[in-house]
Amino acid sequence: MIAISSHYLCDQNSARHHIERVIANSDAAADSGPRIIRFHFDLLPMGFLARVLWLQGLPEQAMATAERLVEHAKARDHANSLCHALALAACPISLWAGNLDLAELYIDALHEISNRHALTLWHALGRAHRGVLLIKRGDLHAGLPQLRAAFEECRVAPAGYRVLVFIAELTEALGRAGRISEALAAAEEAIDRAERTAEGWIMAELLRVKGELLRLDGAPGAEDLAEACFLQALQLAGTQDALAWELRAATSLARLHRARNRSAEAIACLRQIYDRFTEGFGTADLVAAKRLLDELNEAPDEACPAAARSGPLR
C-alpha cells in the first residue's frame, strides 16, 4: 500500500524500494513452504513495478516485467488477475513504448477475458486502450469516439487514476482533431483533478499536453504560455524521478525552440535528457527524440555552438 501510494503521489524511488521489498519477501515465502494467496492479487506488486520502471526511463525492463506478469497470471488461470495485469501494466506500457502490435495482442486478450467473465470495468478499460491504439495508428475517426465513450464509462466507476491515464490521451487526440477549445478545457479539468486528488504521477504529462494545445491554438502569447508549461513539466518530472515524462517534455520544448529559431537551446535541453537513457532506444519517445536531435544537428542556427553539435548519438 505504501508503494502504490508513493507511485501515484509521484515518489517513484520510494515506490520502487517498497515494491522490490514486497516481491523479495514474497519470493522468500514461496521458497519456505505454504503461503497466503491474497485473493489472487499477489501479482499486483509486479504490475506496479513495471509502471515505475517505465516512468524511471527503463522501458525494456518495464516491458519484460509486464510480459512476465501476464505469463504468471495466465498460468494461474484467474480471470480477474489476468485482466488486472493486462489493463494496468501490459496494455498501457506497450502503448507508451509504441509497440502497437504487441499492444493489440494484449488488448485483444483483455477484451476476450473480460467479456467472457462479464467483468465490466476491465472491459471498459480494454475499450479505452483500443481507442488509444486506433489513435496512435492515425485513425482518429474511429479511435476518438471509442476512447471518449470508454472514458465516460470508466469515469462513473471508482477508477481514479485510470481516468487520468486516458484523459491525457483523449485531450491530445482532441487537439489533433482540431477541437482545440474542447481539448484545452479537458486539459484544465484534468490538471485540476490531479491537484485535488494528489495524483502527481501524471501531472507533468498533463502540463506538457496543455502546452502542445496552446501551441496549436496560436492565440497571442500562446508560445510563451506553452514554453512555461513545458518548463514546468520538465522541472516537475525531474523532481519525481520520472525520466520518461522528462523526455517527452524536453522533446516538446525542443520543438518549440526550433520553431522560434533557438536551435542551440533546443539541442541543449533535449540532449542532456536523452543521454541519461541506457536502454529502450527503439521505443517511440526515444526514436522521436533522436530524430529531432539529428534534424537539429543537420541544420543548426548560427548561434548554435559547435560543442552542442558534437558527440555521437545512439
Q: What is the pLDDT of residues 141-166, one digit of tens each?
A: 999 999 999 888 877 665 444 677 88
1-23+42-159 topology per CATH: 1.25.40
Residue 16 contacts residue 55 (beta carbons within 8 Å): no
Give the model confidence (pLDDT) of 86-104 as tens digits.
999 999 999 999 999 999 9
d(CA 249, CA 272): 13
Query: Do residues 226 and 254 lie in contact, with contact meaning Cβ atoms separated by under 8 Å?
Result: no
For range 35-61, the mean pLDDT: 81
Per-residue pLDDT band for 35 (boundaries 50, 70, 90) equals low
Q: Average pLDDT, stretch 298-306? A: 54
The span from the CA of 108 to the CA of 90, in Å, is 12
Question: What per-residue confidence (pLDDT) applies to 19?
Answer: 92
Mean confidence (pLDDT) of the chain: 88
Tell which residue, 97, 61, 100, 244, has the closest CA to residue 236.
Answer: 244
Q: Which three cell numbers stand for residue 102?
A: 504487441
Please report the sign of the dihedral spanned by the C-alpha atoms of residue 127, residue 133, residue 136, residue 141.
negative
pLDDT given at position 36: 57
Residue 237 has pLDDT above 80, yes or no: yes
Flag whether pLDDT at 253 surpasses 60: yes
CA dist 239 and 236 (Å) reads 5
**Fold classified for 198-314:** 1.25.40
Q: CATH 1.25.40.10: which residues of the chain?
A: 1-23+42-159
